[in-house]
Amino acid sequence: MNNKLKKATDAVDRAEDMDEDTAPLSVPPNVKKVLEERGADYGDFRKQWGLSQALKSILIKELVHNPHFMGLPDLEKYALKEGVEQICLKLSRVAIGDCLKEDNFVDISGYSELLAQLARKK
């Protein structure tokens, strides 16, 4: 396994080992309620964040060294990077939470379409 993938999977494993006892949150009741509601759809946020960051780490580290990416204007770099990061977030929600929550796929489709529009302008 390459080093980047190993580091990313280690980060996911560490996130999966966390629970409310090892990583307590002190949040107002209204925020706690929202976190619980989102957790029903997206899974435990600690696990979801770990996977999301692992996916982003792998893809973005490769992307920023891609000669095609390096030649883009800054605004297009920002748009491409953000689109990829948002798709990673949505994919991590699919993997950790409700894997058939339609909103995740609508969002992925939306970000993909925005990136396709950026590509068509090229």
* Neighbour count for residue 77 (Cβ, 10 Å): 15
Helices (H), ranges, the chain? 3-17, 29-42, 45-63, 67-70, 74-96, 102-121
pLDDT at position 93: 95
Q: Where are the domains of the chain?
A: 3-16+26-121
* Ranges of residues in the chain whose predicted pLDDT is under 50: none
pLDDT at position 42: 93
Whole-model pTM: value is 0.79
